[in-house]
Amino acid sequence: MVTGGGAGIGRAVVRQWAARGGGVAVLDLDGRSAEEGAADALSAGAAAAVGIQCDVASEESVAHAFRAVEKLGPLYGAFANAGLDAGGFLHELPAETWHKVLETNLTGVYLTCKYALQQILKAGQPGSIVCTSSPAASVGFAAGAAGAYSASKGGISALVRCMAVDYARYGIRVNAVVPGATETRLMWANVKPADVPEMRRRVCEEVPLGRLADPDEPARSVVWLLSTEASYVTGSHLVCDGGILAKAAISV
């Protein structure tokens, strides 16, 4: 089960999991993108696939989506990935924007994990949950104005550690992936379209590997964490950021 599975890293995870022959439920705020993701999964080799419109900030919507997910059979894994980025310096940030970011990114992960855990526990078998965190959970972005986003991702990282401890006794692993600069729509959410080429050039200069990630790259990390290949990994943060967190901010 993948939230935010209609585009970006989520869509790449859907394709890669489908290529392993597994069934997949694609949840996205954009219902058409969710359905297209499910069709893509079937083409890639999924045993079964369904696309479901879902607003992860709404418990009613998440509960409805998971009832549909249950029709595919016992849930093994979930990728809690849906999120948004709305920037602004804190003294200017409307409370409405703060709440929207936290409700989507953090409450959305809580609700996704809540219902995923219920289904995995009901199935009585081991499972795996992966949540999307960010370098912003550990450091402040140099560009600034990312307080709400950073707070939401820091909350996700803390939640992952707690869930890993709480559910290890049931054989349920909980981990986070930490993608860096990745070529997705979300990457440029706060950049004017005309400024994207110049901003992309600058970001590539600042990333130690010298480029942005393709969505397939962090997706491979997610699929590994979901799979039994990572059977002894829980409570971890798999950093896939091209070296961003390893780099000091100063040049001397």
Catalytic residues: 149
Q: Which regions of 54-126 does DSSP assign to beta strands (E)?
A: 77-80
218: left (phi over 0), alpha (psi -120 to 50) or beta: alpha
| C-alpha distances out from residue 45 to 14, 19, 26, 71, Å | 11, 5, 15, 19
CA distances from 191 to 161, 165, 186 (A): 32, 38, 10
> How far is it, in rounded angstroms, from Cα 130 to Cα 103?
18
CA atoms within 13 A on the CB side of 242: 19
Determine the Cα–Cα distance for residues 77 and 172; give it in Å rounded to an integer.
9
3-state SS assignment for residue 51: strand
Backbone φ and ψ of 23, nearest 5°: -80, 150
Task: Please report, for residues 14, 120, 236, the alpha-carbon distance to residue 50 in angstroms, rounded to integers and kept in the order given.
Answer: 11, 18, 29
Give the C-alpha distances (Å, rounded to integers) separating 138 from 60, 124, 141, 148, 149. 32, 35, 10, 14, 12
Distance of alpha carbon 167 from alpha carbon 189, whole angstroms? 35
Beta bridge partners of 53: 28
For the chain, how big is the Rg over CA atoms in Å?
18
